[in-house]
Structure 1
Amino acid sequence: MHLHSFTIARLAIELREKGNSIAQKQLIQAFTTDKDSLVLSFEPITLKISFFKGEALFQTPDESKLQKKNRLLCFKELTENDCYVEDIITYPFDRLFQIKFSNGYSLYFLLFGRFSQVGLYKEGTLISHFPAKSKDVDVTAYKRANALAICNSLDSEIPFIKQLRFLNTDQKQELESLDFSTVSIEKKAELLNKLREKYLHGISYISKVEKSYKLSYSPSEEDVTSFDNTIEALDNFSRLYISHKVFNETKSSYLGVLNKELKSLKTKQKSLTKKLDSLSNASTYKQKADLLMAYLHLVPSGASSIELDNFEGTAKVSISLNKMLSPQANAERFYRKSKNESKQVDFVLKNLDQLKSKISQKETEIKSFGELESFKDIVKTAQAKPTKSDVRLPYRKLMLDGYEIRIGRGAKDNDELLRSYTSKNDIWLHAKNVSGSHVIIRNPSKKEVSMTLIEKAAQIAAYYSKAKTESLAVVMYTERKFVRKPKGATPGLVKVDKEETILVEPKNY
């Protein structure tokens, strides 16, 4: 808490008596340009009070450099009829001060941490306050009590030090070291007065402690700078405090994004590792096909499943069958699937290698970002736009016969591919009556696309569909302009107004 009662008193006294005195001066304008900052422009000085992260921070900006547009005027009653500052009133042992104006209005600066506000009152009645959502405060409850009155009001059932809310932690510890809790009421008052006298005079120090800034009245090894003027000290402290908070929040926010990305990569790695273990431990399609061929005489026609001994004779292998197929046809089906099984293992291993590399890169990025100490570098890194290579496209692509082929990655990606990455003269293909990827033959030059290329693209469409394990599949194709997305349709679903079909063997290129 940098705004304890003695700092507030020093601020009020300087506004009343020293070079920046506003006594007998007019308030030219009171305005805000955002919900958290209030500007009071007096004749000799401009005060800006920022209500920032639970603190009220005073600054003295150059009024000519402040934002001119979108100023919302506040406390208009104080800028009319040649009204001027009549007095600045301090409250010796409380966290507030009052600027009294000649027209009977008063501005109360109620500086109670996260409940801080500036309120306009007339004869103790609240007229308006800033920030707008502040709670109403009855200022008549605050008295300009002296030290003896404060000490007499302390509740003996509650630790005395805890009741001195107008002091900061250092000041409370200082009183505690002087046996404040055990001495008489008169001695308590004497100690409070001595403490106040000490903090009302002397030099202000701004120090950096544990990567945070602190305003104090005692020199230390961590001091950044010192001031004999409280207004100047508060101005410099506020600038350092705000910039430091913004720096930390920006850095923390972006580190959170990076760590979330790292967590996502590790989750994918865990999932792929589990899938690889499953592929490695399961009985392979080839093994099942070999067993069926070896024991054809034991497999009854029309069976939906069968258990056969493995070739080592050490375990039973359970095999699900298509009862509409003969035992030999079932074996042939498993042989076809075995080709894809080895491809799956290769695919998983390839992706695991890529993920391992990405995880290493992300960990290095997090470490490097965590070591940045310049706000400029933080912002530059956090706001850097991803390159095209970093952007995830909704399709995979390859080149065939000089044409680019785009293959949708999933249902939502199919929609995005169709909406944003095609033109009306492209050729659209999709396996008929089964779910699968949209396949696009890009044709920006509007040339006639050969049937040879359409057949190859159709094979790809069949391969990236539920028909990939079939020996032959029907694929429909048409120009992109005849394909549309019905309103409210589920992801991936489209309506085709004109189509042709082709029968192909599923194949990837």
Structure 2
Amino acid sequence: MSLNWREIELILSELPLQGSSLQQTIQHDFHSLSWNFYHPDEGRWTLYTEFGTPFSRLHAVSKAITYNQKGKTAKLQRFIQFSRANLEGCKVIEVYQQPFDRLVLLRLDNHGRRLNMYLRFYSGPGANILVTDQDDILQDLLYRRPNRNEHSKGIFTLPPVQQESKVFLVRPRTETSFNNQIEAEYGTNSNESTYEDLVRKVQAKAEKELRILQNTVSSHLKTLRFCEGFDSFRKIADILSANQHLLTRRMPSIDLEDWESGKIIHIELDEKQKASANIALYYEKYQKAKGTYENALAEVEKAKKAFSEKESHYKDILREDQDKTRAIARLQRELKEGKVQQTVQQKTGLVLHSGEYTLLVGRNAKENDELLRHHVRGNDYWLHTRDYPGGYVFIKYIKNKSVPLDVLLDAANLALIFSKAKSQKKAELYYTQVKYLRRVKEGKTGLVIPTQEKNISVTLDDGRLSRLLLEHANA
């Protein structure tokens, strides 16, 4: 809880404020400041103040303020600039506390210029630092509150003295000075509160990242199960090759003996193709399925390793046996690194990841056009639903690598979900490289005509989408 007026009175009685000169002001965060003073008899000393929090207080500081209490915002910069220009160098000539109140007045002299600094140590919106001239015209404030008539060039009026409405007592004392007692008590409480808040934020971050990685593992395992029978395509191709003399045009299927099991198997054929083309088609299916299986197998191992490393990373950061100050610094650094990664991502559309590939998603014509103009290159791949309007999905090119089927299916699902075909839950798409797109002269924003395109059919896969979209808060 905040200090009551009697405790503030006791704090002030121990401080060498009168006669001290302000040498430096430091703003740590939205609510707290340090004031470095020099007193002819006491030497250098530091006053810590905090406003508008459950820990509103002032006291002398015996230890350096730790890293976790530092920070900057634009609003804080304004007041600190005023303080450095107008308050630093001032001498405290009088200290006054409003009776039965948590309002403290420091009268300052800056080489003949008189200033009044009112410190209101309230827990609610009344908390503030107000600096006025000798006529109580406001020069600047920690928090500008126009609705309370607290703004630059406004007039500050000291509230009338009121009688004590309830009895306030000084808390049980320790053997140290009251300043040291408050510093120790509130420093621990404030750090504990900060630590618990940071732990909650990092735990939420960990849960989200681990859920994404777990979904990635599940998606690749699903692909493995789907492609694990890839060798059957090779066997069919071998059987067809051995019985090529039995194949004729316009055969929709054929029943042949499997020489390993002795059973008769039914084989579907493309009746428009020659025998050799049907054989080649099954060998091609074998190669594609085998490649997809091997890629998924490698991706599963990679995703499991990433999950294990990430899990160990967060377990170490969230250990309870760490020094609190060191733990707070680590937690803050973890959250800061996450914010930095978010800010470096482009603002247009969505940036998602499928394995080692980056996917860019435009959700409307404006985003499609912006991505085409500024974020993709000729070798990147473009996907779009056929016969339905919708967003563009781009797969960023990786040198000397062909796009795996699993990545293509991820991109196709994204193109489907961000199109008018979403309600159908399946669609035909075409894809080609960006260099084969042609803009329509005087056409609508983002409109292109693909050339050398290929077709792909896709059915909505909720597992893929949840894995991809969980990593993006705006998806």
Question: TM-score, normalized by length of structure 2?
Answer: 0.50
Cα offset, 1:135, TM superposition: 7.3
Cα offset, 1:269, TM superposition: 0.7
Summarize deviations over 1:34-86 as a string: whole Å, max 9, x none.
5644344363553222459775353423699999xx98462877778976115
2:7 corresponding residue in structure 1: 10
SS of 2:25 mapped into structure 1: strand
Distance 1:327 1:137, change over 3 A: same
1:96 corresponding residue in structure 2: 103
Name which of 345, 352, 358 aligns with 2:300: 352
Summarize deviations over 1:122-148 as a string: whole Å, max 9, x none.
55643321256897556648443224x
Larger Rg: 1
2:163 corresponding residue in structure 1: 146
Q: In terms of mean alpha carbon deviation, does 327-336 or 132-141 score higher?
A: 132-141
Equivalences for residues 159-178 of structure 1 within 5 A: none
Summarize deviations over 1:446-501 as a string: whole Å, max 9, x none.
xxxxxxxxxxxxxxx7xx479xxxxxxxxxxxxxxxxxxxxxxx99979xxxxxxx
Cα offset, 1:98, TM superposition: 3.6
Is contact 1:285-1:338 (8 Å) kept? yes
Name which of 294, 307, 317 aligns with 1:369: 317
Is contact 1:89-1:99 (8 Å) kept? no
Between the aligned partners of 1:9 and 1:332, the Cα distance in structure 2 is 92
Is contact 1:75-1:120 (8 Å) kept? no
The percentage of aligned residue pairs carrying the same residue is 12
Is contact 1:14-1:230 (8 Å) kept? yes
Name which of 107, 120, 126 aligns with 2:118: 107
Distance 1:83 1:253, change over 3 A: closer
Cα offset, 1:335, TM superposition: 2.0
Between the aligned partners of 1:381 and 1:79, the Cα distance in structure 2 is 34
Equivalences for residues 411-430 of structure 1 within 5 A: none
Is contact 2:51-2:127 (8 Å) kept? yes
1:300 corresponding residue in structure 2: 249
Cα offset, 1:3, TM superposition: 0.9
Between the aligned partners of 2:256 and 2:91, the Cα distance in structure 1 is 103
Is contact 2:51-2:121 (8 Å) kept? no
1:161 corresponding residue in structure 2: none
SS of 2:140 mapped into structure 1: strand
Instruction: Give 1:105's aligned amino acid.
Output: N
Name which of 218, 225, 229 aligns with 1:277: 225
Instruction: Give 2:131's aligned amino acid.
Output: L
Distance 1:72 1:370, change over 3 A: same
Cα offset, 1:336, TM superposition: 4.2
Cα offset, 1:109, TM superposition: 1.9
Is contact 1:14-1:20 (8 Å) kept? yes
Question: TM-score, normalized by length of structure 1?
Answer: 0.48
2:48 corresponding residue in structure 1: 48
Equivalences for residues 55-454 of structure 1 within 5 A: 55-61=55-61, 72=81, 74=83, 84-85=93-94, 87-92=96-101, 95-99=102-106, 103=114, 105-113=116-124, 116-121=127-132, 125-131=137-143, 136=148, 140=157, 142-147=159-164, 150=165, 192-193=166-167, 196=168, 199-200=169-170, 202-204=171-173, 226=174, 229-245=177-193, 247-248=195-196, 255=203, 258-280=206-228, 284-286=232-234, 289=237, 300=249, 306=252, 321=270, 323=272, 325-372=273-320, 373-374=322-323, 375-376=325-326, 438-439=399-400
Between the aligned partners of 1:240 and 1:338, the Cα distance in structure 2 is 65
Distance 1:20 1:286, change over 3 A: same
1:160 corresponding residue in structure 2: none
Instruction: Give 2:211's aligned amino acid.
Output: K
Is contact 1:9-1:97 (8 Å) kept? no
Gaps of 5+ in 1: 151-191, 205-225, 385-408, 419-434, 440-460, 467-489, 495-509
1:484 corresponding residue in structure 2: none
Gaps of 5+ in 2: 71-76, 151-155, 335-355, 360-375, 380-395, 405-431, 437-475
Instruction: Give 1:300's aligned amino acid.
Output: R
Over aligned residues, Cα RMSD in angstroms? 5.4
Considering Cα pairs closer than 8 Å and 6+ residues apart, tell me whether 1 or 2 has the greater RCO. Answer: 2
Q: How many residues align?
A: 324
Between the aligned partners of 2:47 and 2:403, the Cα distance in structure 1 is 68
Cα offset, 1:349, TM superposition: 3.6
Distance 1:74 1:382, change over 3 A: closer
Distance 1:268 1:79, change over 3 A: closer
Is contact 1:369-1:378 (8 Å) kept? no
Between the aligned partners of 1:78 and 1:379, the Cα distance in structure 2 is 31
2:33 corresponding residue in structure 1: 38
